[in-house]
Structure 1
Amino acid sequence: MTEYLNQIVTFLGDNPELAGIIVFLIAMGEALFIVGLFVPSTVVLVGAGALVGLGKLDPWSIFIWTTLGAIVGDAASYWVGCVYKDKLRGLWPLSRYPALMAQGEAFFRLHGGKSIFIGRFVPGVKSVVPGIAGMVGMNFWYFTFVNITSAIAWSIVHLGPGFLAGTVLSAIGEVSGRLAAVLGGLCVILFVIIMLGRWLIQIVMPLFPGTHIAVVGWFARRPDRVSQWVARTFDPVHPRSVGMLASVAVLLVTMPLFFWLISEVGPGESLVQADVAIRNLFDTLRTPIGDRILVPVTMLGDGFIIFLLTLVVAGYLFLRKAWRRATGFLISMTGAALFVPLMKGIVLRERPIDLSEGVHAYSFPSGHATLTTVLFGIIAVLVAHDRSAWVKAGVFTITAIYVLTMGFSRVYLGVHWTTDVIAGLLFGTAMVSVFAFVFGSIHNEKIGRGVLSGLVAVALTSIGAWHITRNLPQALVDYSPVAREETLALDAWMTNDWTLVSGRRIGLSGEFKEPLVIQYAGSLDALSKRLEADGWRRPPDWTVKSATGFVEGKTTPDDLPTLPRTHNGRYAALALMRDDPNGGVGGKRWVLRLWPTSYVVDANGNTLPLYAGGLLREEILHPLGEFSSTMIDLPAPALADNPVTALPGAVVRTRTDGTQTVLLPDLAPAIE
């Protein structure tokens, strides 16, 4: 079945003119009465979304055809129910699935007309609910309205994940623009945060009371005053005890993590290397369009904006005579504003770029992330106080999206290391937890949550729009990408300075990977031509068709694209491969990758980019005969297997750990 569905997806990519009809039939079949049980639409539609993200299919036509198919399928099922009524129960194949019919009827009785919308997303009942609606005589026009709106939402849900995956894949495979990877990655992060938030509030919290009662009972049995205070404060009878206990739990997690981060950002630590790798990755992904989106976002976290919003919120709370909450809010904001420069002066960590002066020239923690988290986190606590689980989930989800987007903008623009932002988020969350614990139980201060929400939204929009309109041109200049290259003299590089380049690949986690056994200064085209003459070739590009080779059981080494490994956050500038004659049953291949470094070589006034390369031998595996995968068979090749060794001008150097690195100056003159 998997092979069959993959063939459909491949066919869509190769025949875009027929894609609309195919997704229409798939979406319609998935919605047909009973038939939908046997039509696995998800794989095909997610694959179609990926093709849209890769630029292979037109997004609007695919979306429209998918939506129309879903509408027609449900309409046909409704018509079947209207015509046959209760006779359907005795007809084949429904007579074989009486439990399914009972389940669908129970679902319809529970949700009424909403079942058409909700049921479209529920496995099992989705194939019978429209037919049941026809059987019970549901109003046609009402059914049509719900059918159309639910089909639109269903199409977005099914095509969306594939579209995001396609955009990220296209960026990795250099098929599309870099901005897609940035926005796609941000969307994935936000999606995970939203799902975790809803899972915590709506699933975990309701399961908490049993443990809650046991813990409080243990404290209640102890005679000391502290235990008795804990028992009274967190008594389940107290309506706000669960929230207070959650605040304590969050505080006990965030503060230790914050201080652990401080210990891990010293020189030579793996997190520091990970920070550099992530910064380099975003350097390669930056685009003018991305800057115009994320520079305004980061400007909304400027001190000027935070200060004015703090005055607005504090002033409103005082006007409502919420004295304690207003005072607590000002203490929290003031404490965070003082803590950030204090920590910057203690840790003394340099920013990735020169942006500020004085203590703010240091980067740990991020002031934008810290103050934005405290400000909007406390506002969320005030607005969500004593509301239902659904309202709390919505309020904290919106807040998390805003705060995380702010932090993401700081990393994307290269003004903070990733750990700076994480530290700011952790400390800010801890401050919000303290506020929620101390002031969350106050019930005699009416603050007008709807008015507060509207006031904050209006103030942020108006002040932010004025600030961005006035200062965006200068901000784009201030946040413009900065070149980070060091120049090495040719002779110095060939003798000693080659050791400045890392001897191992550095992953995004900051960990050292396989050895880098090649350093090349010069034109990649010249090197590629020379190696291709010796039997090396470029691997297949990342396309839908080549990617499906990983889910087929007989793919040869020639047909599998190479995995997109990064070194210090940069993707390979050149990748070549060659068969290993001793490949065995599955086949083996050599893969050579060259990554750009932060160095250039000055060769008598001619500036040459310096690349570092690795050479791996990969074995092609076919687990269970259904998939194809690669396994590194030899990460440290012998010198004789290094193809650069035989090229003119190559010099072999040995590191202290015994690893041999081949230095190769520019081949362009020799090629000419």
Structure 2
Amino acid sequence: MVTLYLIAGLAVILPVAAGPLLAYGPGRRFARSAAAGRIRAATGGLVAALGRPGAAVTVVLAWSAAVVAVFWPIGELAHALEHVVDWPVLHWVAPRRSPGFEDFNWLYTALGDRYPLKWVTVAGALVFAVLWRRRFWIPLVAIPAQFVLEQYVQAIIAGMVDRGHPPTGLGTYPSGGIARIVMVFGTLALFAALTWRFTTRIKVALGTGVLVLATYEGYSRVYVQKHWLTDVISGLMFGPALFAGFALSVCVLAGVTRKASPRALEPAA
């Protein structure tokens, strides 16, 4: 029982520490890398050729296809590890749960369910539509789109892997609850950053907050035994991976990325 409390604490402390480290370390290096420059050039070319809406749709569809291609074999690996990892964890957690803490985790894990996040999505879309005034249609379209995107991409991967669920719950691979939290709250944080001029520290704090919500959601899903452990680990990778492409498409649509100049699109001599 005490060990489960310690793990719960780590599920909060580790993402609080990891968020800034990732942002100021690998995140900053990637933003300055040649790969990031090539992505900016590619999206600029798409904008020049297709316009911002067409480029945004192309980016999100291509990225989603890549996410499916990556997480399909990861799902097969998770399925192969079910008897080695998932069943031992399930049997270890079951007798160590306490009634009061279990009630709290049942309450928290509902945060990742579709029903409450639908209302968060609708409210966020309406609020940012008002704030964006003449460009109201961008948050009004983009914020609900993340909800639909996560649902269908996750359903495609779950259908391809078809690994079933633990006998104590109906959670599938990868954890949709974690991915929904990342997508919904990550999108709201993104639009907040695009609406107001936040400092880097505030942006990092917003991203870290989303990471904490998602990580503890993963812990709660294992604690109440709605998901296999490998579903949760995969969800913690799947959610940010899908969000990265969606965030890029939103930046393309909102005009954060630069349009390539006609000269840059000319073939090299």
Normalised to the residue count of structure 1, the TM-score between the two structures is 0.32
Give the aligned residue type for 2:33. Answer: H
Query: Are 1:319 and 2:140 matched, yes or no?
Result: no
Query: Are 1:264 and 2:77 matched, yes or no?
Result: yes
Q: Is the 8 A contact 1:275 1:417 kept in 2?
A: yes
Q: Is the 8 A contact 1:380 1:396 kept in 2?
A: yes
Give the aligned residue type for 1:202. Answer: Y
Q: 1:395 to 1:362 in 2, by over 3 A?
A: closer
| Residue 202 of structure 1: how far off its partner (Å) | 2.6
More helix by share: 2
| Residue 331 of structure 1: how far off its partner (Å) | 1.9
Q: 1:439 to 1:192 in 2, by over 3 A?
A: same
What is the distance in 2 between the residues matched to 1:307 and 1:371?
10
Q: Secondary structure at the match of 2:78?
A: coil
2:176 match = 367
| Residue 286 of structure 1: how far off its partner (Å) | 0.8
| Residue 413 of structure 1: how far off its partner (Å) | 0.7
Matches within 5 A, 1:134-213: 178=1, 180-207=2-29, 212=33
Q: Is the 8 A contact 1:251 1:430 kept in 2?
A: no
| Residue 189 of structure 1: how far off its partner (Å) | 3.5
Give the aligned residue type for 2:86. Answer: D
Deviations 1:48-80 (CA, angstroms, capped at 9, x unpaired): xxxxxxxxxxxxxxxxxxxxxxxxxxxxxxxxx
Deviations 1:514-573 (CA, angstroms, capped at 9, x unpaired): xxxxxxxxxxxxxxxxxxxxxxxxxxxxxxxxxxxxxxxxxxxxxxxxxxxxxxxxxxxx
Matches within 5 A, 1:602-621: none
2:189 match = 380
Gaps of 5+ in 2: 46-58, 257-269
What is the distance in 2 between the residues matched to 1:427 and 1:264?
14
Deviations 1:135-184 (CA, angstroms, capped at 9, x unpaired): xxxxxxxxxxxxxxxxxxxxxxxxxxxxxxxxxxxxxxxxxxx1x32121
Q: 1:194 to 1:312 in 2, by over 3 A?
A: same
| Residue 212 of structure 1: how far off its partner (Å) | 2.6
1:19 match = none
Deviations 1:237-261 (CA, angstroms, capped at 9, x unpaired): xxxxxxxxxx99x999976652332
Q: 1:311 to 1:272 in 2, by over 3 A?
A: farther
Give the aligned residue type for 2:91. Answer: N
Q: Is the 8 A contact 1:262 1:347 kept in 2?
A: yes
Query: Are 1:353 and 2:162 matched, yes or no?
Result: no
Query: Are 1:435 and 2:246 matched, yes or no?
Result: yes
More strand by share: 1
Deviations 1:100-159 (CA, angstroms, capped at 9, x unpaired): xxxxxxxxxxxxxxxxxxxxxxxxxxxxxxxxxxxxxxxxxxxxxxxxxxxxxxxxxxxx
Q: 1:206 to 1:407 in 2, by over 3 A?
A: closer
Deviations 1:464-523 (CA, angstroms, capped at 9, x unpaired): xxxxxxxxxxxxxxxxxxxxxxxxxxxxxxxxxxxxxxxxxxxxxxxxxxxxxxxxxxxx
Q: Is the 8 A contact 2:172 2:227 kept in 1?
A: yes
Gaps of 5+ in 1: 1-177, 220-226, 234-246, 356-360, 445-672
| Residue 367 of structure 1: how far off its partner (Å) | 2.5
Deviations 1:270-322 (CA, angstroms, capped at 9, x unpaired): 35421112212211321112212211101222222112112111222333443
Larger Rg: 1
What is the distance in 1 between the residues matched to 2:156 and 2:43?
37
Q: Is the 8 A contact 1:265 1:271 kept in 2?
A: yes
Q: 1:206 to 1:309 in 2, by over 3 A?
A: closer
What is the distance in 2 between the residues matched to 1:428 and 1:212?
23
Q: Secondary structure at the match of 1:265?
A: helix
Q: Percent identity?
A: 20
Q: What number of residue pairs does the alignment pair up?
A: 235
| Residue 375 of structure 1: how far off its partner (Å) | 0.8
Matches within 5 A, 1:43-62: none
